[in-house]
Amino acid sequence: MTGRTTLVGIMGYPIRHSLSPLMHNAAFEALGLDCRYIPLEVKPRQVRSALNALRRLGFRGFNVTIPHKRRILSFLDRLTPEARFIGAVNTVEIRNGRLIGHNTDGRGFYRAFAEATGRSLRGKRTLILGAGGAARAVAFQSTLEGAASVAVANRSLARAAGLIRDLRRRTRRCAVSVLPWTDAALTWGVGQADVVINATSVGMSPTDPPLLLSRVLRPDQIVCDLVYQPPITPLLREARRAGATAVGGLGMLVHQGALAFEIWTGRRPPIEIMQEALFLSRAD
Ligand X SMILES: NC(=O)c1ccc[n+]([C@@H]2O[C@H](COP(=O)([O-])OP(=O)(O)OC[C@H]3O[C@@H](n4cnc5c(N)ncnc54)[C@H](OP(=O)(O)O)[C@@H]3O)[C@@H](O)[C@H]2O)c1
Chain positions contacting ligand X, by CB under 6 A: 105, 130-135, 154-156, 159, 199-202, 204, 226-228, 249, 252-253, 256
How would you classify the pairing of strands 149-153 and 35-41? Answer: unpaired
| Cβ pair 91, 64 in contact under 8 A | yes
**Alpha carbons 111 and 130: distance in angstroms, whole number:** 20
- 56: helix, strand or coil: helix
Which residue's beta carbon is nearest to the bound ligand X? 132
Burial of 173 (C-beta count, 10 Å sphere; 0-12/13-18/19+): exposed
Taking the mean position of all CA atoms in its chain, how far away is CA 125? 20
% helix, strand, coil for the chain, step of 5? 45, 20, 35
Compare residues 6 and 185 and give the one whose CB is closer to ligand X: 185
Compare residues 246 and 252 and give the one whose CB is closer to ligand X: 252
DSSP 210: P
CB of 251 to ligand X, least distance (A): 8
Compare residues 146 and 231 and give the one whose CB is closer to ligand X: 231
Query: Which of 24, 69, 102, 136 is flagged as catalytic?
Result: 69
CB of 231 to ligand X, least distance (A): 10
CB of 143 to ligand X, least distance (A): 17
Burial of 1 (C-beta count, 10 Å sphere; 0-12/13-18/19+): exposed
CB of 181 to ligand X, least distance (A): 7
Compare residues 134 and 176 and give the one whose CB is closer to ligand X: 134
69 catalytically annotated? yes
**Alpha carbons 79 and 125: distance in angstroms, whole number:** 29
Residues recognised as catalytic? 69
